[in-house]
Structure 1
Amino acid sequence: MDRNISSLNHTSIQTPLPPNTTANINATVKPFSVFDGCELYVEGILFDLTLQCINVFIGIPANILVIAVLIHNRKEASTSDIFLGCLAFLDAYFGVMTPIVILNLYTWGSQKVWSSIKFSYGVKDTSGPLFFSCICLDRFMAVLFPITFGQLKHIKYRLFLTVIVFFLTFAYAAAKTVGGLPNFEKVFTGEILAAFSWMVVCNASILWALKRSHSAGKDEMHPMKKKAFKTVLSILCIIVVNYLPPVAMFPFEDIYTPDVFRCYVQPVGFAFVNISSTTQPLIYLTRLEKVPFISDACIKKWGSCISSDNNTNNKSTTQQNQSA
């Protein structure tokens, strides 16, 4: 779905003329269209909406569970948990907006609702890269500059960064909702390029430092360093999978025709960013040694069921081989 074009509703509201237009004020203006010129190229938009539906059924529960886990573990909180919590909250909010997008697309056709949808897209565009950048900065300081990190470990520094990120996020989202700013799409391209470069450099430096300390010391990596290594590696996977496609495609807008860029390149690129609302909480949950709110009895029972099924399948396979 192209976030930089006014699409996704069927209202007959006329598109306003640009402020510097010299056209006759009484001229007929093209009615507001759901696909805004992409009527014959809807595949990219539908691909984006499909991934957003995954956020509804998987991403929202996963993000709520992440928030619950962070609250449950608040006495043993990591320094970057505040960033993870804010990111999970905003990702859950973005997932909640998807049914509203679909209802406005096929039922309501409200311009005011479309404005709130554009605001949620602006929040998603900015919150993910900025909060991930804060998490990478936190891990970078902890591994490469532990003394300085210890001096800046107080939560007030994380709160300060969080306030800045929220301010930038809502400022970007408000500007996106108002629209009409020249070359506004270049802001996201610049932001995603800068954030992607910073996160890759940070994580690569952390991985290199951890591997170097491991090879220069004992055979086994320290448990805390091993945990940090897994955390940084998972973040690097999220960065590459969710942010590399727009980074690779958006800066080369000039080589595409306008229709191809609006109807295919942008929706597909944003789709990979959108699905991070699901991949990020799932990867965080898989890193946990134990998920709260799920008793050990349930885990053992689930594990024993899997083991019994595997044993049954193995026995049946052995009997079939013997009979053959």
Structure 2
Amino acid sequence: MERNVSSPHNSTSFPTLLPFNTTTDINTTVKPFSVFDGCDHQVEGILFDLTLQCINVVVGIPANILVIAILINNRKDPSTSDVFLGCLAFMDAYFGSMTPVIFLNLYHWQSKEVWSALKFSYGVKDTSGPLFLSCICLDRFIAVLFPILFGQLKPIKYRLSISVLVLCLTFAYSSAKMVGGLHNFEKVFTGEVLATFTWMVVCNVSILWALKKSRGVGKDEMHPMKKKAFKMVLSILCIIVCNYLPLVVLFPFEDYYSPDVFRCYVQPVGFAFLNISSTIQPLVYLSRLEKLPFLSDIKKWCSCVSAENKTPPAQNPPA
């Protein structure tokens, strides 16, 4: 079920090669390229996906840029997961910026070349989100369950190495999607989503269970740092369930749908929940912050300006 290859607004139709012994008219008209590919009259699922992608443009891009700015501002006292969060925010901002191009290509350009470039951005979204979220879960999993090992792996070089590996996998997958024509390539995405979803759920449930047990006998309150980690892991678990569960539930039952229903409705709706994660993920991160670093600076600047405006001008003494 390769995204945007078998899905309606992501497919390219090629004429089927005929056997040599087939008697047919040589001048048969070749089916023209269509960005909707057979779903021109069943566009409800596609428009639902694009509507959610519009939210990525209006809300998601500014939120991701703000996340990146906050991470840069906190670079002197970074969290171990900041590298993964920064890469994830950058990829989500890039994906959101492609939405206007998608609309232009659907209703104006209708270009096969532009669509090939858009397939690369879909490949980035398919791969970077699940993999970087898995890296964040792995980082929290080691920190909570194996603190001694976490102390040894705390240097940023390990996370930079993992990030480079994830980016290489992302660009390799996206390039293969853009080229197309690979046999059973859609199974790569299916396996990736199932594997990362299973890992993230098991990992986060294990972390939550360990943090709950760490209260100790007779203690009702959790340690502040562990409480902060608990909220972070719980928020990630909510993201996983909201954005990835529909794909896991719907896509394995492809054979139970008719080809048109699956291509025109099930796939766009399932991917819509994945696409909107470009907005949900940065908003969840921002909601966990006790205060925005730039907000306090703006308040200080505004208070200084208002104080200067209220100060009466000095009067010259009489001659």
Amino acid at match of 2:247: P
CA contact (8 A) 1:9 1:106 kept: no
Give the gaps of 5 or more residues in structure 2.
303-319
Distance 1:17 1:116 in 2: 22
CA RMSD of aligned residues (A): 2.2
Residue 230 of structure 2 is matched in structure 1 by: 229
Change (3 A) 1:297 1:3: closer
Does 1:44 find its partner at 2:45?
yes
Distance 2:125 2:18 in 1: 32
Q: 5 Å matches for 1:1-324?
A: 3-5=4-6, 8=9, 15-17=13-15, 22=19, 27-216=28-217, 218-295=219-296, 298=299
Distance 1:191 1:218 in 2: 41
Distance 2:72 2:18 in 1: 54
CA contact (8 A) 1:119 1:174 kept: yes
Distance 2:10 2:197 in 1: 32
Change (3 A) 1:191 1:6: closer
CA contact (8 A) 1:52 1:275 kept: yes
CA contact (8 A) 1:45 1:263 kept: yes
State the structure with more CA Rg.
2
TM-score (norm 2): 0.87
Amino acid at match of 2:125: K
CA contact (8 A) 1:8 1:101 kept: no
- Using the TM superposition, give the Cα deviation of residue 35 of structure 1 relative to its aligned residue in structure 2, in angstroms: 1.4
Distance 2:49 2:171 in 1: 23
Distance 2:298 2:79 in 1: 28
Which of 175-184 and 233-242 deviates more? Answer: 175-184
- Using the TM superposition, give the Cα deviation of residue 8 of structure 1 relative to its aligned residue in structure 2, in angstroms: 4.2
CA contact (8 A) 2:64 2:93 kept: yes
Change (3 A) 1:8 1:249: closer
Once the two structures are superposed, residues 264-286 of structure 1 have per-residue CA deviations (whole angstroms, 9 ceiling, x without a partner) of 11100100000000000000000
Once the two structures are superposed, residues 32-54 of structure 1 have per-residue CA deviations (whole angstroms, 9 ceiling, x without a partner) of 12311112221110000000000
- Using the TM superposition, give the Cα deviation of residue 205 of structure 1 relative to its aligned residue in structure 2, in angstroms: 0.2
Amino acid at match of 2:14: P
Percent of aligned pairs with the same amino acid: 74
Distance 1:30 1:138 in 2: 50
Distance 2:194 2:10 in 1: 30
Give the gaps of 5 or more residues in structure 1.
302-324
- Using the TM superposition, give the Cα deviation of residue 17 of structure 1 relative to its aligned residue in structure 2, in angstroms: 3.9
Stretches of 4+ moved more than 2 A in 1? 5-10, 14-18, 20-29, 215-219, 295-299
Instruction: Look up the SS of the partner of 1:34 in the other structure.
Output: coil
